[in-house]
């Protein structure tokens, strides 16, 4: 085999390893969340950790690659909800789609509450989603269908509550999910049964959800 043939074989091997790593990471993140280490991912992919880190130098790089398509879908779903002629239908449909995504992937909620380097596409899509969700909330409130004291941070409260149900109920999570979402949507509907306590600030909300690393900077665990 000549040099060109050797190069092609090396590239093919590298691509196989990359696909194996991504498939393994998707599986283990969906099943266990993002607490797993790079070493565990490498073991699950049946490659050495140095091989994994040559392709994905940091955990953030790997997580971003694994979840980029789902975050695009999430942002697109928010845009579709915002475009719905019926503001309440758009809001409730979006909540239902989020619940379905959580049912299939435990890592999904964690990714939505992370920040990535601004140069990464996943961060741009995550911010796009947040902007559209805020607009969707304001639109439903203006229509008088969503209670006036609902804030964007309440969407995170919904995600975390639902994630707890998914984690706790296993194979029958779908039944519990449908009932919880129905209860929450009734609670969110205007005018609301009564006043709510003041919501936590954005910073307090994120600190309650994110693992802190290197002081106040959140980083994806390595």
Alpha helices in the chain (DSSP H): 3-32, 38-45, 49-55, 59-83, 87-104, 107-112, 121-142, 152-169, 173-188, 202-209
Q: What sign results for the dihedral spanned by CA atoms 101, 126, 130, 34?
A: positive
140 and 108: one domain? yes
Q: Residue 12 sits in which domain range?
A: 1-57
176 and 187: one domain? yes
Residue pLDDT, tens place only, 81-113:
999 999 999 999 999 999 999 998 888 888 887
110 and 206: one domain? yes
pTM exceeds 0.85, yes or no: no
Burial-class residue 28 by CB neighbours within 10 Å (0-12, 13-18, 19+): buried
Count structural domains, the chain.
Answer: 2
Residue pLDDT, tens place only, 51-81:
999 999 999 899 999 999 999 999 999 999 9
């Amino acid at each position: 085999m000549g040099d060109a043939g050797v190069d092609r074989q090396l590239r093919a091997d590298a691509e196989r390893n990359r696909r194996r790593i991504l498939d393994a990471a998707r599986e283990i993140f969906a099943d266990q969340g993002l607490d797993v280490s790079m070493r565990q991912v490498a073991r699950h992919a049946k490659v050495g950790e140095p091989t994994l880190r040559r392709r994905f130098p940091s955990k953030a790089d790997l997580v971003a690659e694994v979840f980029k398509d789902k975050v695009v879908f999430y942002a697109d779903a928010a845009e579709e909800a915002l475009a719905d002629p019926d503001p309440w239908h758009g809001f409730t449909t979006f909540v239902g789609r989020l619940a379905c995504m959580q049912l299939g992937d435990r890592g999904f909620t964690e990714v939505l509450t992370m920040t990535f380097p601004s140069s990464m596409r996943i961060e741009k899509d995550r911010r796009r989603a947040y902007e559209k969700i805020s607009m969707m909330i304001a639109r439903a409130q203006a229509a008088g269908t969503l209670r006036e004291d609902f804030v964007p941070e309440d969407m995170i409260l919904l995600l975390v509550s639902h994630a707890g149900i998914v984690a706790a109920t296993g194979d029958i999570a779908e039944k519990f999910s449908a009932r919880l979402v129905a209860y929450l949507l009734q609670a969110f509907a205007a005018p609301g049964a009564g006043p709510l306590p003041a919501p936590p600030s954005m910073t307090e909300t994120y600190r309650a959800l994110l693992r802190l690393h290197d002081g106040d900077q959140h980083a994806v665990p390595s």
